[in-house]
């Protein structure tokens, strides 16, 4: 088996198409070399070695050593250096590289191959002893912490001590002799902490680093990340070994990270940061402040790469063009300049904000780089959520505290909190919080998720906080260096202003500004790009998108976002208003039919008005109105006062009403007297609702001259007999209204399919139904036997222990519940080929579920108004 693939030297054996075998980094290094970009020679140990390693009890394949040896010799040949040669030593970097980039794994060891002898060779060849000893100590520090597991604080402390001793501020002011002393100290630290000397044999170093990469694939942090992102452990990671180039060999050297377009806005400008005379990790570590790439972006006191290293910058600009044309997507690249020569160390598809994803997709389609279909595919539907984020009200008063980098857009305010744990505690209580950290690490991710926004005082646009916040759509201001954070005192200060934990700040992630207190925000307007993409999506999607809405506000929002009708109007939500709930309670608690009918009749005008409002707003679009379906307990009076009120209204004694309440209370309300069961036992109720619907429809179509076609929907049907009898009640009431008014009106009567029995007998039920709407909330509840209201008690455990892959109330369980949906659809259409099919459970707004509904051939999905754009895009992607 071939376990090792060379790149960049005389042999270039990989390519971008081999990402599964070589990992993303390795595949793209080979690809860049293949298209003629300057890539230092190296080789990739395949992901198959990782898999074999774990299959064989952490042992390598037998012939691996020989293949690594041969590939290493290839690098030596290409460069005229030798690994471990005291006179002209080859140094390498060792990096992990899975198919998708994966934080939590061992990342990078640089300068590998240095020891007490080769450091002298490096010093002689570079003519720079300080550089050589600095590189050596960096190597011991990196190798010591990531391979040998020594806490990096041990090393940092010694540097601080050395700087204090030398009376200097910056690392750059330390001399070669200082670094020699640090190396001695470092080696002692390693001996003390690990009980063994630091390895001097370069081959032992190399295999140590390779082993650390493979070992890190199974460490707890990597495991957690994989679980959260559905990455199978069987993918494995590759290891990349590459000849070192040095960005820290003088003022004509540099290292940087950049994006071919602005990852925040998507604007077509070259974007990034670099540091002169520095090594890769310095840029992201936040120890020195990175400088901008282009002069146009440079602020006062900053030195752009365009000015400092014009030749390398010009070459980088042409690399940028080549990469974008080649990959046809925005790239995130790492480079190093050694003595004015540019070297490419990485390229990959760049992470971006939702706004940038949209801008880039549209711009690239307009530039002719990609098709409209590709542009549609490029924007993750759920990311649209971020575009609907609020911004600061330009007219709101504000007190600016400080300014950092605009790391992730949107505006958010909240109480200051200094740890991820405290964020979770407060967020669970419903508080808005802002996580404030000096910098963030993977341990903070859960807190970042629960926070409204993240503020850091250190780090650049590519710092952990910035990258993670952008990915999850959290507002983030990074590197606000003017703010001082004191974790112990739990304070944040700017000059003399001191804010304590719990006090409010507001962040503007679009400008980087930080304000004291609350600043009013406004809802976003949908930009040109947004509607362009929506237009393209609408052209290709097959399914219609409706909204779940019952209030005029929600209906307006739904139309604003492009809903093509209402798929679910939950009438019980219309019954909670203070002027109505009393009648609802009387209806439920009535001791005799006359009292009940009186209460129901009192509700009629309210309902009629509600429906008129909806029909007017929806202007001829279909509106599905579901007749009452409350689990009864939601409506029962709570406490003495409410009970007394109901009793008084009905002219009955408190005791009588209390007794009836006790009789009505159920052990399992969700499986109790609700849905059509209520409509069958209290036929006056559904008759009243039907009357209200038909009267409202007649009135609005007379008023607007536009036909209104109400769809009346019966909930919680399990048997054909239930629907047959309910249908009669509804038809009778409708016929009566039409007869007395003499009006002509089309209406239809359908049912929800939300119980397993309904799906199993859908062919019989279809005989009584003009349409089906799958109620996947109840269908999930009843198929799993998971209470919708109580899953919180055990579902987190299930998710954590891989008993279930996803929350089935968020993303449909295709294997089980999905089978019932497709069976229901098939059986229904076997009886009525044109039967209209929709879905109105929460899953109607979930992109993965929408893909499934497309495959089942549903006619529409209905979701909450704010998810309508997401559903439009997801339905388009599903149809492609
Ligand atoms: C459903 O059960 O999926 C549904 C839409 O109805 P509700 O959520 O109101 O029970
Ligand atoms: Mg339901």
CB 360 within 8 A of CB 380: no
Ligand 1 contact via 40 beta carbon (within 6 Å): no
What is the length of the chain?
880
Residue whose Cα lies nearest atom 1 of ligand 1: it is 775
For residue 781, the CA-to-ligand 2 centroid distance in Å is 9
Ligand 1 contact via 568 beta carbon (within 6 Å): yes
State phi, psi for 272 to the nearest 5 degrees: 165, -170
For residue 45, the CA-to-ligand 2 centroid distance in Å is 53
For residue 721, the CA-to-ligand 2 centroid distance in Å is 19
| 74 known ligand binder | no
CA–CA dist 811, 578 (Å, integer): 35
Query: Which among 505, 502, 493, 499 has a CA at the least distance from the CA of 457?
Result: 493
Residue whose Cα lies nearest atom 10 of ligand 1: it is 778
Q: Which of 631, 809, 841, 867 is the best mutation target for the ligand 1 pocket, counting ligand atoms within 8 Å of the beta carbon and taking the most?
A: 841
Ligand 1 contact via 227 beta carbon (within 6 Å): no
* 541-879 shares the fold of 254-352: no
Ligand 1 contact via 783 beta carbon (within 6 Å): no
| 471 known ligand binder | no
Ligand 1 contact via 290 beta carbon (within 6 Å): no
* Ligand 1: nearest atom to the Cα of 773: 5
Residue whose Cα lies nearest atom 4 of ligand 1: it is 775
For residue 624, the CA-to-ligand 2 centroid distance in Å is 14
Burial of 13 (0-12, 13-18, 19+ CB in 10 A): middle
Catalytic residue list contains 569: no
Ligand 1 contact via 841 beta carbon (within 6 Å): yes
For residue 504, the CA-to-ligand 1 centroid distance in Å is 38
Record: fold of 541-879: TIM Barrel (3.20.20)
Ligand 1 contact via 777 beta carbon (within 6 Å): yes
Is 3.50.30.10 the CATH classification of the domain at 389-522? Answer: yes
Q: Which two tokens stand for residue 726?
A: 């309910």
| 777 known ligand binder | yes
Is 3.40.1190.20 the CATH classification of the domain at 4-243? Answer: no
Residue 557: per-residue pLDDT: 84
- Please name the CATH architecture into which domain 254-352 falls: 2-Layer Sandwich (3.30)
Q: Which of 372, 389, 464, 843 is labelled catalytic? A: 464
| 775 known ligand binder | yes
Residue 283: per-residue pLDDT: 67
Ligand 1 contact via 840 beta carbon (within 6 Å): yes
Q: In degrees, to the nearest 5, what angle opens at C-alpha 780 toward C-alphas 748 and 664?
A: 75
CA–CA dist 227, 819 (Å, integer): 25
Residue 383: per-residue pLDDT: 82
Residue owning tokens 């290709």: 540
| 201 known ligand binder | no
Q: Which of 569, 676, 840, 863 is labelled catalytic? A: 840
| 776 known ligand binder | yes
Residues in Cβ contact with 412 at an 8 Å cutoff, skipping those fewer than 6 apart: 390, 432, 434, 452, 453, 474, 475, 506, 507, 509, 521
- Cα first-last separation, the chain: 38
CA–CA dist 69, 36 (Å, integer): 26
| 626 known ligand binder | yes
ipTM score assigned to the predicted complex: 0.99
CA–CA dist 158, 193 (Å, integer): 14
CA distances from 827 to 169, 779, 830 (A): 77, 17, 5
Q: Which two tokens stand for residue 539?
A: 């052209």
Give every residue of the chain whose pLDDT is below 50, as ranges. none
* Ligand 1: nearest atom to the Cα of 777: 3
Ligand 1 contact via 570 beta carbon (within 6 Å): yes
CA–CA dist 132, 134 (Å, integer): 5
Residue 842: per-residue pLDDT: 86
Q: Which of 675, 754, 810 is the best mutation target for the ligand 1 pocket, counting ligand atoms within 8 Å of the beta carbon and taking the most?
A: 754
Domain locations in the chain as residue ranges: 4-243, 254-352, 389-522, 541-879
Catalytic residue list contains 50: no
For residue 776, the CA-to-ligand 2 centroid distance in Å is 7
Q: In degrees, to the nearest 5, what angle opens at C-alpha 483 toward C-alphas 480 and 488?
A: 125
């Amino acid at each position: 088996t071939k376990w090792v693939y060379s790149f960049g030297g005389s042999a270039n054996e990989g390519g971008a198409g081999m990402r599964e075998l070589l990992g993303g980094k390795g595949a793209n290094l080979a690809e860049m070399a293949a298209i003629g970009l300057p890539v230092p020679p190296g080789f990739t140990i395949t992901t198959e070695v990782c898999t074999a390693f774990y299959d064989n009890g952490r042992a390598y394949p037998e012939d691996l050593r020989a293949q690594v040896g041969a590939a290493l010799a290839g690098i030596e040949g290409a460069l005229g250096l030798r690994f471990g040669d005291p006179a002209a030593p080859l140094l390498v970097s060792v990096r992990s590289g899975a198919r998708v980039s994966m934080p939590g794994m061992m990342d990078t060891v640089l300068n590998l191959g240095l020891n007490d002898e080769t450091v002298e060779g490096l010093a002689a060849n570079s003519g720079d002893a300080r550089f050589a000893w600095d590189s050596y100590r960096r190597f011991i520090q990196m190798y010591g912490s990531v391979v040998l597991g020594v806490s990096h604080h041990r090393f940092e402390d010694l540097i601080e001590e050395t700087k204090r001793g030398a009376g200097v501020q910056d690392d750059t002011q330390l001399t070669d002799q200082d670094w020699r002393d640090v190396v001695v100290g470092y080696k002692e630290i390693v001996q003390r902490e690990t009980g063994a000397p630091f390895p001097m044999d370069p081959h032992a170093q190399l295999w140590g680093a390779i082993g650390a990469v493979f070992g890190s694939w199974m460490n707890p942090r990597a495991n957690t990340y994989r679980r959260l992102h559905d990455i199978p452990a069987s993918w494995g990671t590759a290891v990349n070994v590459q000849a070192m180039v040095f960005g820290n060999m003088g003022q004509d050297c540099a290292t940087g990270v950049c994006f071919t377009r602005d990852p925040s806005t998507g604007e077509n400008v070259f974007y990034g940061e670099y540091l002169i005379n520095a090594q890769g990790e310095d840029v992201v570590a936040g120890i020195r402040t990175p400088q901008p790439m282009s002069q146009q972006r440079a602020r006062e006191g900053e030195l752009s790469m365009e000015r400092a290293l014009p030749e390398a910058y010009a070459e980088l600009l042409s690399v940028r063009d080549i990469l974008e044309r080649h990959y046809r997507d925005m790239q995130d690249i790492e480079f190093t300049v050694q003595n004015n020569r540019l070297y490419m160390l990485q390229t990959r598809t760049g992470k971006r904000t939702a706004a940038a994803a949209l801008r880039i997709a549209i711009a690239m389609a307009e530039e002719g780089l990609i098709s409209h279909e590709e542009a549609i595919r490029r924007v993750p539907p759920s990311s649209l959520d971020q575009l609907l984020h609020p911004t600061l009200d330009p007219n709101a008063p504000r007190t600016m505290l400080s300014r950092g980098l605009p790391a992730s857009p949107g505006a958010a305010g909240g109480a200051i909190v200094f740890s991820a744990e405290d964020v979770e505690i407060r967020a669970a209580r419903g508080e808005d919080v802002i996580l404030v950290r000096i910098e963030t690490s993977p341990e903070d991710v859960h807190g970042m998720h629960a926070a409204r926004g993240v503020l850091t005082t250190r780090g650049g646009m590519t710092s952990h906080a910035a990258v993670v916040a952008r990915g999850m759509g959290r507002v983030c201001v990074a590197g606000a260096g003017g703010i001082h954070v004191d974790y112990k005192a739990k304070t944040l200060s700017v000059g003399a202003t001191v804010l304590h934990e719990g006090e409010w700040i507001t962040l503007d992630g679009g400008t980087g500004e930080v304000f004291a207190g609350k600043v009013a925000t406004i809802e976003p307007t949908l930009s040109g790009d947004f509607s362009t993409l929506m237009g393209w999506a609408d052209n290709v999607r097959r399914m219609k998108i409706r909204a779940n809405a019952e209030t005029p506000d929600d209906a307006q929002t739904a139309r604003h976002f492009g809903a093509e009708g209402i798929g679910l109007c939950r009438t019980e939500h219309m019954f909670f208003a203070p002027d109505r709930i009393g009648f609802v309670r009387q209806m439920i608690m009535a001791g005799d039919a006359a009292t009940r009918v009186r209460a129901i009749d009192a509700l009629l005008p309210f309902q009629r008005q509600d429906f008129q409002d909806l029909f007017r707003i929806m202007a001829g679009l279909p509106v599905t109105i579901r007749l009452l379906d409350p689990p009864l307990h939601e409506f029962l009076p709570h406490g003495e006062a409410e009970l007394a009120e109901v009793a008084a209204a009905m002219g009955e004694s408190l005791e009588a009403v209390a007794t009836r309440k006790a009789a009505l209370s159920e052990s399992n309300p969700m499986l109790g007297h609700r849905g059509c069961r209520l409509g069958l036992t209290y036929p006056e109720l559904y008759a009243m609702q039907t009357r209200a619907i038909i009267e409202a429809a007649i009135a609005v179509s007379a008023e607007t001259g536009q036909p209104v076609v109400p769809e009346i929907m019966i909930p919680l049907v399990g048997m054909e007999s239930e629907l047959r009898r309910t249908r009669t009640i509804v038809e009778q009431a409708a016929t009566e209204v039409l007869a007395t008014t003499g009006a002509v009106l089309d209406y239809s009567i359908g049912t929800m399919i939300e119980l397993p029995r309904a799906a199993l007998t859908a062919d019989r039920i279809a005989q009584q139904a003009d349409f089906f709407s799958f109620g996947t909330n109840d269908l999930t509840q009843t198929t799993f036997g998971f209470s919708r209201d109580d899953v919180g008690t055990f579902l987190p455990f299930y998710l954590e222990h891989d008993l279930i892959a996803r929350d089935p109330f968020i993303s449909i369980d295709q294997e089980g519940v999905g089978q019932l949906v497709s069976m229901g659809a098939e059986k229904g259409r076997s009886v009525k080929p044109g039967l209209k099919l929709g879905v109105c459970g929460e899953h109607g707004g979930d992109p993965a579920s929408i893909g499934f509904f497309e495959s089942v051939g549903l006619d529409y999905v209905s979701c909450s108004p704010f998810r309508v754009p997401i559903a439009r895009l997801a339905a388009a992607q599903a149809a492609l």
